Amino acid sequence: MAQNYISKGDIITFRAERDYISGSPHRIFGLNGIMLLNVKKGDLASFQISGVFRLTIKDANLGDWAFIGYDDKITTNDYERWLFGVVVSPPDENGLCNCLIQQNTVV
């Protein structure tokens, strides 16, 4: 189970199209979330799409928006990225902070 989990949230399950690492942030099917377990391609994956997780977000401050790109990296830079969440705790000395996952829709 992802060790960076802070609060409960909604989970979806799907057949993985590639390998994933537990605790890693992703944007899958247009949804933001965190992979809950290590998954191999073809296995069932559990993907939490709401809640709070501890993530490394470079140069983050409390209240900043967090964005995710095609590379699945989280940053406060919104250039060619999608909104992922909001920073809800100041980062510690290692750059780890709590991030509340947000969903966004483009119509």
Residues 79 and 95 in one domain: yes
pLDDT of amino acid 49: 96
As a whole number, the mean pLDDT across the chain is 90
Residues 57 and 44 in one domain: no
Q: How many domains does the chain have?
A: 2
pLDDT at residue 81 greater than cutoff 90:
no
Residue 33, domain member (yes or no):
yes
Residues 69 and 44 in one domain: no
Q: Cα–Cα distance between 77 and 105 in angstroms, integer?
A: 19
Tokens 């391609």 correspond to what residue? 41
Residue 2, domain member (yes or no):
no
C-alpha closest to that of 48 among 29, 34, 28, 38: 34
Residue 92, domain member (yes or no):
yes
pLDDT of amino acid 107: 44
Residues 62 and 91 in one domain: yes
Give this prediction's pTM: 0.87
Token output for 19:
């390998």
Token output for 66:
């967090």
pLDDT band at 78 (very low <50, low <70, confident <90, very high): confident
Residues 43 and 59 in one domain: no
pLDDT at residue 99 greater than cutoff 70:
yes
Domain of residue 19: give its range.
Answer: 11-49
Q: What is the mean pLDDT of residues 72-87?
A: 91
Residue 5, domain member (yes or no):
no
